[in-house]
Structures are given as C-alpha cells and as structure tokens.
Amino acid sequence: MPELPEVETTRRGIATVMPGRRLRSLVVHEPRMRWPIPAHLSQTVAGQIVRRCERRGKYLLIGFDNGTMIVHLGMSGSLRRAPLDEIKRKHDHVEWVFDDARFLLHDPRRFGAVLWHDHGSGPVQTHPLLANLGIEPFDPGFTGTTLHQAFKNKKQAIKTALLAGDVVVGVGNIYASEALFRARINPKTAAGRLSRERCSRLHDAVLSTLSDALHSGGSTLRDYVNATGTPGSYFDIHAAVYNRAGQPCRVCHTPIKKIVQGQRATYYCPKCQAR
C-alpha cells in the first residue's frame, strides 16, 4: 500500500508539472472507486488552473481556485505521467489532461479515491477525511516528548497506535515495522508503557526510516510506481524486517518473526526487539 514516502514522492513528481497549468479535462473512465467519484467533478475542474499540489498524510491535495481535489492511491494505486498519445492501460481509471502533459490514476483494486472539497465549504483541512489526522512526522512540532505525551495511558500495542494516524500521520504498516526495529522496540509493547527516552528513540527512527524511503523513491512490493513510472528502491537498499519472515536479522542473525496485529502483518526481530 502506498504510504507517506510513496505519496510524497508522487506529489513531488506532479508538483513539477501541474501548478500554473490549466487542466484541459478530467476524464473519468471508472467512477466506482472506494467512494464514487462525484458526477460533477469533470465539469467542475475543466478549464481551471492548478494552483498547488500538496499532501496531508496519505492524501494528495490538488488545489484550484474553486476547491481542492482529494486523491488517495488506495492499496495498490499510482499516479503517473504518460505521453498524450499513449494508449490507456487496463485499470487506468482517471486522467488529468493538460495541453502538454497527461497523468493517469492506475488502481487495479479500486480502493483509491478522487473526491472534491469545494472552496465554499471552508479549508480543506476540515474535510472529514483530514480533520482528525495527527501531526505530520516532518513537522517541527513532532518530537519524542509529544509522542510520549500522546501515548500516555494508551493500552494498545505500539505498532497499532502508530498505524491509527491520530498521533502522527503517514507511518503505515511497512515503515512502522521498520521504525520499531530501528528503535529496538517490540511491536506488541503497550504504547503507554514506553518511557520518554524510548519515545525519543522511536521519534528519531520514524524520521530516519521515512527519510531513507523518500531518498529511495519509496518502496515497491507490488504495483507502486512514482509519477514518472519508476518503481521505488527502499526494499533493495534499506529493509531490515518487513517481508523477511524466517530470514536472519541483519544485526544478530536471529530469524525474523511475523505476527498479525489488527489484520496487518508485523515483522520484527525477537532478540533485538525483546521488549
């Protein structure tokens, strides 16, 4: 599933092209996504100038004068640039067409979304999908201390607490496992049991893990490609535990263990992450 590094990599790709250009047309080939694409959307944005390309958590925000398009890549989606004359591929469901550029949303499972927040409805951050999101991990306000305070009295496992997104956004399943390994924290440990010092280690691990993923262009387990159609290389370079069940830990050589938490796979080293 595309996580914060993949979405941010995509945002950076489209942000070099879209802003300042007039959208000639939005072509919806398949409106049946996670939520139906609004029937009025193509008409609403046709001829409008893209003013900004931003991100909040795992959502891409394409801003116009009359509102903001909220795009989610779902479980296996990608948003890539394609030549104007390229034949549409199977599972290319939406096209953003400019005079000299074209972007296609590819989503085999159709778990993604393309929604609209009208300017008259207030700031896009008040949209129900965005209103309750936690702090961005690269925000200066995100620190080990704020992490410790937020987790205080939480009984849920730290891995589950990270995935919830109400404390810090964008630390999805892959990078939560990787960050917990770097911080030497067992994913089953109750979030409220973490000391201030361990939260500080986790904070640093989250930032370093996400930074490495960004520099690698994200990860590629299935279908993810960035805005230029290039797969990410995080797993080739950095992955320590994720998707490595039974393989030796890169630090102590103990076999990596896989468990399921909240219906999501968790990978960790039982020796390096003993508590």
Residues β-bridged to residue 97: 25, 102
What confidence tier does 49 reach under pLDDT thresholds 50, 70, 90? very high
Among 23-27, 148-152, 231-235, 262-266, which stretch is predicted with the lowest mean pLDDT? 231-235
C-alpha dihedral, 209 to 211 to 212 to 213, nearest 10°: 90
> Over the stretch 209-238, which tens digit does the pLDDT of each residue have?
999 888 876 554 444 444 555 554 445 557
> How far lies 8's CA from each of 2, 41, 144, 218, 272, in Å?
10, 24, 23, 9, 30
> Over the stretch 173-186, which tens digit does the pLDDT of each residue have?
999 999 999 999 99
What one-character-per-residue DSSP string does 111-145 give?
A: --EEEEEEGGG--GGGSTTTTT--B-TTSTT--HH
**Orientation of helix 173-183 relative to helix 196-215, angle to 10°:** 130
> What does the alpha-carbon distance between residue 58 and residue 7 come to, in Å, rounded to a whole number?
6
What is residue 224's predicted lDDT score, i.e. its pLDDT? 43
> How far lies 221's CA from each of 23, 47, 96, 174, 236, in Å?
32, 37, 26, 10, 11
> Over the stretch 157-204, which tens digit does the pLDDT of each residue have?
999 999 999 999 989 899 999 999 999 999 999 999 999 999 999 999
The pLDDT mean for the chain works out to: 92
> Over the stretch 65-119, which tens digit does the pLDDT of each residue have?
999 999 999 988 999 999 999 999 999 999 999 999 999 999 999 999 999 999 9
182: phi > 0 → left, psi -120 to 50 → alpha, else beta; which?
alpha
Determine whether 236 is exposed, middle or buried from the number of CB atoms within 10 Å of its CB (0-12, 13-18, 19+): exposed
Residues β-bridged to residue 55: 60
> Over the stretch 8-42, which tens digit does the pLDDT of each residue have?
989 999 999 999 999 999 999 999 999 999 999 99
What is residue 218's predicted lDDT score, i.e. its pLDDT? 54
What is residue 120's predicted lDDT score, i.e. its pLDDT? 97
Q: Scanning the structure block, which residue is given the tokens 């960050």?
A: 179
189 close to 157: Cβ distance less than 8 angstroms: yes
Active-site residues, by number, are 2-3, 58, 264
What is residue 232's predicted lDDT score, i.e. its pLDDT? 45
- Look at residue 146 and tell me whether its pLDDT is greater than 70: yes
Q: Minimal CA–CA distance to 157: which of 264, 41, 5?
A: 264
